[in-house]
Amino acid sequence: MHKIEVEMGKDIYQANRKIAENIRKMLDERGIMAIDFMGSIGSGKTLIIEKLIELMKNEKRIGVIVGDVTGDDDYKRIKKYGVDVVNINTGKECHLDAHLVEHALEDLNIDEIDILFVENIGNLVCPADFELGTHKRGVVVSVTEGDDMVRKHPLIFQISDFIVINKIDLIPYMEIDMDRIMKDIERIAPKKVFLTNARNGEGIEELAEWLLN
């Protein structure tokens, strides 16, 4: 059973990468900068995208692809900002793939977008293996996920270009060793780290500046 999955897997990854390359080329031709936001359920991906939209929308035309297993809660949250947004429901799949993003792009006005945010399905395992053709990939984790989250899911941190540690306002109420997280990041995946409290916007401006440069 596992053998078949692995062999199938290789082809799936290759096919996905090829579509991702096409997406990347298409985005580049139109001058669109795209960012894939990965991370656990409830880590704050949607709220961070909302806060980025608030900060950027006067200067940039923004498009959003929102992925969820089911439902359109996040889609509705983004829609309120008046930006161009498409919802993808994966059914049982635990990640977006390039093929799904390719179709979602057909439903966006891509000639009128400067920045594309993609919100991936919420978990720290599956999305890592599937590039979506974006220019940057980031993983959003919350301090509530425990100070062993990096060592437990090294791959998703390693393939990310940036790491957002969110809900830092909850640190005083928890037993969490932030030093351990930062040391794990340095050892396992030394990437740019942003400490944020998306609720009040703390740290989002720094993230926005970094993404735009």
In contact, 135 and 88? CB cutoff 8 Å: no
In contact, 116 and 28? CB cutoff 8 Å: no
Among the listed ranges 55-63, 112-120, 168-176, 202-210, the one in contact with its own copies (CB under 8 A) is 168-176
Q: Does 179 bind its own copies (CB under 8 A)?
A: no
Q: Does 151 bind its own copies (CB under 8 A)?
A: yes
Q: Does 178 bind its own copies (CB under 8 A)?
A: no
State the Cα–Cα distance between residues 109 and 205, nearest whole angstrom: 26
CB of 74 to its own copies, least distance (A): 8
State the Cα–Cα distance between residues 95 and 119, nearest whole angstrom: 10
Q: Does 111 bind its own copies (CB under 8 A)?
A: no
Site size with its own copies, rule: CB under 8 A: 46
Three-state DSSP at 68 gives strand
Site for its own copies, residues 79 to 98, rule: CB under 8 A: 92-94, 97
Cα distances (angstroms) measured from residue 115 to each of 12, 15, 31, 151: 28, 25, 9, 32
CB of 208 to its own copies, least distance (A): 22
Of 121, 164, 127, 123, which is closest to residue 40 (Cα–Cα)? 123
- Which positions lie near its own copies, rule CB under 8 A? 1-2, 4-5, 8, 12, 15-16, 40-42, 68-71, 73, 92-94, 97, 99, 121-126, 129, 142, 144-146, 148-149, 151-155, 167, 169-170, 173-175, 199
